Amino acid sequence: MKKIFFFLSIVIFIFANQLSMANDVNFDKKVGLDDAVTALQVASGIKAKIYLPPNFNWRNEWDNNGVDYNVNDVVAFNGSSYICILAHTSNENCMPTNQALWDILSQKGDKGDNYDIPKLSTTERDNLSNLVFGTLIFNNDTNCLNIYRSDKWFQLCGIDET
């Protein structure tokens, strides 16, 4: 019985640890304010920081003027991003669309419609019905984002960087 309890405890610990890191956008093994703010920036259409796994090297826009690219270098090209799979020096024949040298990391999609977060007063917010976990509004009374979780509204306001 003790062995079964010990085994189940380990499995639950591993699962819970991985589940809690699902929202760790910068891979620092913590889900903190930066991660939450990044998620909100993405949801609201604000351009957020891009975090890459530690072994990737962001090199900005691809350059065809004799730049040395190494394995795991990541570049932007025509709205998509590519990761280098074979070290080389760039020229017009080594574009990121060359599948012998590059793999696509994220492909540019069609431009979608903008999403405007609903802007409501506190009274209007409190009169909403059929709320679901994660409902997001901008509160005009407090000038803060409000997020609905577990029968309660949480507020995310400006970040004090002092």
Specify the pTM: 0.42
The residues, ordered by sequence, that sit 6+ positions from 120 with a Cβ below 8 Å of its Cβ are 128, 137, 138, 139, 140
pLDDT band at 18 (very low <50, low <70, confident <90, very high): very low
- The per-residue pLDDT for 162 is 54
- The per-residue pLDDT for 133 is 83
Q: What is the pLDDT of residues 26-80, one digit of tens each?
A: 555 555 555 565 565 555 555 555 555 668 888 999 999 999 999 999 999 998 9
Residues 134-147 as b or e (16 or more Cβ within 10 Å = b)? eeebbbeeeeebbb
- The per-residue pLDDT for 66 is 95
Half-sphere exposure of 57 (CA within 13 A, CB side): 11
Question: Cα separation of 90 and 93, whole Å?
Answer: 8
- The per-residue pLDDT for 16 is 47
- The per-residue pLDDT for 112 is 72
Q: What is the pLDDT of residues 35-46, one digit of tens each?
A: 565 565 555 555
Tell me the percentage of the chain whose pLDDT exceeds 70: 64
Q: Where are the domains of the chain?
A: 1-51, 57-106, 116-162
Q: Which homologous superfamily is 57-106 in?
A: Carbohydrate-binding module superfamily 5/12 (2.10.10.20)
- The per-residue pLDDT for 97 is 93
Tell me the percentage of the chain whose pLDDT exceeds 90: 35
